[in-house]
Each structure stands twice: as structure tokens, then as C-alpha cells.
Amino acid sequence: MILRSLTLLRFRNHRKLVIAPSLGANELVGPNGAGKTNVLEAIDFLSLGRSWRTSDMGDVVQEGESEAYVRGEVEEGGITRRIEVSFRGGGRAVLLDGKPLARLSDLRGAFSAVRFTPEDVSLFRGSPSGRRAFLDEALSRLSGDYLLAYGRFRHLLEERNRALKGGRWTPLLETLTERLVVEEERVEALRGRFLERLEGAFGTLSAALLGEGREARVRLKRFLEPGEDFARRALALHLSQKERDLVLGSTQAGPQRDDLLVTLDGREAASYASQGESRALALALRLAPALIPKGAGRPVVLLDDVFGELDQERRRRLVAILPRLGQSFITGTTAHVAGARRFHIGKKDSEE
């Protein structure tokens, strides 16, 4: 996937910004607070229709204004499409080629992005929720089936949790549990398939960033082993925990408790890897989906302040693998990538 042009109007600190990126590396260079991350956020909006920085759409509208607008011309498989997002009154509307989207998931085939931001440095050391969010987001971008299956699963889970708050076991809870395990099986099967593909891409990237001879792996720590009779075993598990579920008022077991486990040289990275290695591994994990070939095309890569986080040797290694990642957008206070197209992001409006 390629972002051909990007326009921001009254988006955060950018009154008007228009850029025409190159097909390879693009560097957004400027001082702290210039609005570089804001540009990556806008690109991310084009791919997911939401932001990793805020759920309040009012935040992105320039102070003192009532509306903001982001437009991207995106290309995939020789077809150029226009994605527009307008923000107004705390909400947002997304248009694809001038037509309102029925569902945000319809954006998926048109444009997608993966990102690495400074917060990701704690991807391994932090709580499992960050890793699960990564997993669900990466999968949702890659697979419409997952997006739907996961949506159905979350919906049922919430319904079951509401029913559990009643404090006693009911026929409704029985039915909801039976329906839930069907969705759990689907979610787990799709996660399993994705992990197989992710593993290869993660291995390639971690080897490139850490150097050959280190063995990094990622696997899924599941709430229940996959295989024969999954739904029946899941049902038995839920039923065996029903008293606990009722006391706590929520479903204790399930895909919502899975975790990603990353190992380096056979040991758990969270406790074994050095700070620098953790950064490189987090970067490899974040970018791995960009290497997974897919009919609908590879996502563009957003790297926020990544060079500041890496030592000299890893910077060099990252620059060396950039060409394999396709189109990328890299922010920093100084330029690092020879041959990249450079955009100077000013404190005021950009002059691009």
C-alpha cells in the first residue's frame, strides 16, 4: 500500500499541511512539539478510522476551530482511492472515494499501516493488555474474518458478563456460555493461523535488528490448548468456573486472557533481554505484520522517534532493512536515513 498524498486541515497544530511522500522512506524532521507525531496520527486515522492517542475525536481539532479534516490518496494494486476523515462535534465521518463508509472495517482493504511509537518500548515488560491490543489490532488489519469474529466474541462476552452480575446462574447464562465457546473457538483458530505467519516475519526482523546468532521467537500463551474438542473443553472450563465468575461478576477464562510470549535465546524476553534488546524485539514485533504478504497489500510503516531509542549499531541495522518494509514514515529531531524524502515540520504551519 502506498500513500500518494496527504492533506491535513486544522488537524491538531497543523492549520494546513500537504505532503507528497516518496514510495520508500520519508522522514519528518523537526524540533520537539513541531507536530511530527500528529502527522503519523493522521496517517493512522486513514487506516483504522481511529487514533492510538485518543478516543476523544474533539482532541484532534485545532484549538479554537470546530472542524478538522484529513485526506489521503492511497494506492493499492494500481488503483488509487481517496480516503477522507472529517472531525466535527466530537465525532468523525469517513468517506471512501466520496462515499460514506458503512463500516470502518471497509477501510481495511484500501489502506493500512503499522506503527512503532516510544510507548512500545514497554511492550514486553508491561501488562498483557498491551500485547493483546497489538495482537487484535494487527489481526483486525489483516483479516476481515478476524475483525468480525472478534467483534462477535466481544459482544457475547459483554452480554455474559452483564448476566453474571445478576449473581446467580440462569438458563440465559447457560445459553450465552454455549454460544460464547463457538466464538472463542473461531477467535483462537484465527489467532493460531496468524501467529504462524507472524513468527516467520518476526524471526526475520529480529535477526536483522539483533544480528544473526540470536534466536527470538514469539508464541501465543493461550487460555486453553487448541485442538480436538476445543468447544467442549472450553464449555467444561467455563462451567467449572461458574461460581467464581458469578462472585467476580465477569468471565475469568477466555481469549481475553491470552498473552503473547516473546523469548530470546530460549528465555523469556521480559526478564532476560537487555533494555536495548527489548527495544529491538518490540520493534520487530510491531513491524512484523508489515512483512506478512497478503493479497490486499502490505501496510505502510510508521516509526515515531525510533532512532532516538536505538543505539548506533541498531540504527544502522534498522536503516538497512527499511527498503524491505516498503513505504515508511519516520519522525525525528534530526535526519537519519540517507536517500529518504525529507519533510521539515515547523513549529508553525508547515511550508511543504
Ligand X SMILES: Nc1ncnc2c1ncn2[C@@H]1O[C@H](COP(=O)(O)OP(=O)(O)O)[C@@H](O)[C@H]1O
Contact footprint for Mg ion (CB under 5 A): 37
Q: Which is nearer to ligand X, 39 or 83 (CB)?
A: 39
Q: Which is nearer to ligand X, 53 or 233 (CB)?
A: 53
**Where in 50-79 is the site for ligand X (CB under 6 A)?**
59-63
The minimum distance between CB 47 and Mg ion, in angstroms, equals: 19
Which position among 8, 17, 37, 330 is part of the footprint of ligand X (CB under 6 A)? 37
**Where in 315-334 is the site for ligand X (CB under 6 A)?**
331
Q: Which is nearer to Mg ion, 251 or 331 (CB)?
A: 331
The minimum distance between CB 5 and Mg ion, in angstroms, equals: 22
Indicate which of ligand X, Mg ion, none lies near residue 332 (CB less than 5 to 8 Å, by partner kind). Answer: none
Residue 189 CB-density burial (10 A; 0-12 exposed, 13-18 middle, 19+ buried): middle
Q: From 191, 190, 184, 179, select the one nearest 132 (Cα to Cα).
A: 191
The minimum distance between CB 61 and ligand X, in angstroms, equals: 6
Three-class SS of 6-69: EEEEEECCEEEEEECCCCCEEEEECCCCCCHHHHHHHHHHHHHCCCCCCCCHHHHECCCCCEEE
Q: From 116, 105, 176, select the one nearest 145 (Cα to Cα).
A: 105
Instruction: Report how far residue 23's alpha carbon sits from residue 29's, in angstroms, rounded to the nearest whole number.
Output: 18
Q: Copy the grid coordinates of residue 23.
A: 514510495
The minimum distance between CB 264 and ligand X, in angstroms, equals: 30
Q: Which is nearer to ligand X, 256 or 328 (CB)?
A: 328
Q: From 24, 94, 85, select the one nearest 60 (Cα to Cα).
A: 85
Q: How many Å separate Cα 19 from the centre of its chain? A: 24
Q: Which is nearer to Mg ion, 44 or 184 (CB)?
A: 44
Q: Which position's Cβ is nearest Mg ion? A: 37
- Residues contributing to the site for ligand X (CB under 6 A): 12-13, 30, 32-38, 59-63, 331
